[in-house]
Structure 1
Amino acid sequence: MTTVTLDGLDLSALLCSRVCHDVISPVGAIVNGLEVLEDDNDASMREFALDLIRKSARQASARLQFARIAFGAAGSAGASIDLADAEKVSRGMFADDKTQLTWSAPQALFPKNKVKLLLNLVMIATSAIPRGGLIDVKVTGDGEAPLLILTAKGSHARIPAHVVDLLAGTPEGGSVDAHGILAYYAGLVARAAAMDVRLTIEGDEVTIRAEPTAAAAEPPAPAADAPEAVEEARPSDSEPSDTALA
C-alpha cells in the first residue's frame, strides 16, 4: 500500500483536534458545575457541583500534562525526557478511570522520541480494552536500545481497527482523520526513533512490543584498513633502510 504523508498543517490540525477531544468533556463538566453553584442554593447540590468541578479539573489537567509530552515539545531544551515524568503523566490519565496501570521502568533519561512513542502506545493500549482492565508497561534496556512491552488485558480486548495500517503509515482509503491520528502519529514517532512496533492478541490480552529496528540494532561495521597507506609507509625493497645508512 502507498504510504500517506501529511503536510505540517494537516498533521498539526489533526493533533489539535485530538487534544481538544480529550479535554472538552472535563472542561464542559467544570462549566456545568459552576452553573449549578450560581443557580442552586441547595447544600447537597452545591457539594455535588464542587466535587464535580474538583474531579473534572484534575482530569483536564492530567490530560493536558500527558498531551504536552506525548504530542508536544515538552523538554525541547534537551534531547531526553525522564521516564519518571512519563510514568507520572500516565498514572494521572488513569487516576479516576476504570483502567488500572502497572509500570516497570528504570529511573533514567531516555531520548525524547522514544518516550513520546511509549506514551502514544499507552493510549493505543487503552483503546485495545474499551471496557477497561489492566495495562502493564515494562521498559528494559537503555535509551539507545530499549525494549517496550505493553500488555492490555480486559473483557472484549481487541486490536483497534486499522491501527496496524495507521502505524505503518498506510491507512485504508489513503487518508487519516482525527480518530486515526494517534496511531498514525505513533508510527511517525516510531520511525523517527528507529523503533519497530508489533501488535499481537491472544484471548483477552493484547501485547504491544516496540524494539529497535533491525538496521538500528546492528553494530556499526569496523573501519576497513587502508592497505594503500600501509604500503606507502613501508620502505621499498630497493631503498636502503635507516639501519643500512647508519
Structure 2
Amino acid sequence: MAYLSISGVRKTYGSPRGPVTALKGIDLEVNEGEFVSILGPSGCGKSTLLKCIAGLEDASAGKIAVDGRALKGPPQNMGIVFQRDVLLDWRTILDNVLITAEFAGLKGPAVRERALALLGRFGLGGFENRHPWELSGGMRQRAAICRALLCDPKLLLMDEPFGALDAMTRDDLNLELARIWQDTRKTVVFVTHGITEAIFLSDRVVMMDRNPGRIVEIIDIDLPRPRHLAMRESAEFGRYVAHVRHLFASLGVLKDDAP
C-alpha cells in the first residue's frame, strides 16, 4: 500500500465567470520513503495539489489517503515548507523553529537541543538569537526548513521552497536537502518549476500541464545516490533534462530550438 494515495482528484474554484478547474483527474501514489517532485509551469496546479495533500484545501472530487487513512484536515506527522518562509519577525530564529513543538505540545531541553542541532546543520549556528529581519532570504528559508523538520515528520511537503533564492544558495540547499533525505528517508513531495532541481533531488518526477492542471507523465529517475552537483554535467543527467524539455515543448510550455 502506498504511503500517499491520490485517486481521481479534481479541484474546482468558483469565479464570476463560472467554475474554474484547477486540477482534473489526478492519480498518484507515493511510496513510503520516496522523494517525488511535482514539476510544471506556473498555473498548472502544483501548489493547489500540495495544499490538498496537506489538508489545507478540500478536493472537489476524488480521494486522498495518507498512511492508509482518508484525509480529513492536515495529516498527522506532517511538516510543510512554503514558498515564503513565514517567520514571525518578533520572535528569534530559535523561537520560530520551536513553534512547531509548541503546537504539538512538546517542550523541554531535548526539543531545544534538537532545534539547535538543526540550525547548526543548516549553517545557522550562532544565529539562533537573531530575528528574521536580521537574516538574508536564504538564511530565513533555512530556518523555515528547520522548523518543518523539528518534530521529525514522516511526510514532508515543500512548495517551491528555493524558488526565490540565488543560484548558489539554491544549490547549497539542494545538497543539504538531499543529505537529509538520505539520512532519514522521509516521504517527500517537492513542488518546483526547476527541471534540473527536480531531476537532481527525486526518485520520480511528476510532470504536469495546465488548463486544466493534470499529470502528463511520471518519470523514474535512475541515478545513483548520494548525488553530487557534478552529476548534473553527466550525459545520463542530460538525457533526463532533454526528455523533460522535449515533452514540455510538445505541450507548448517551452520553445524547442532543436532542428
TM-score, structure 2 length as denominator? 0.31
| TM-score, L = length of structure 1 | 0.32
More strand by share: 2
The structure with the larger Rg is 1
Choose between structure 1 and 2 for higher RCO, CA contacts under 8 A separated by at least 6 residues: 2
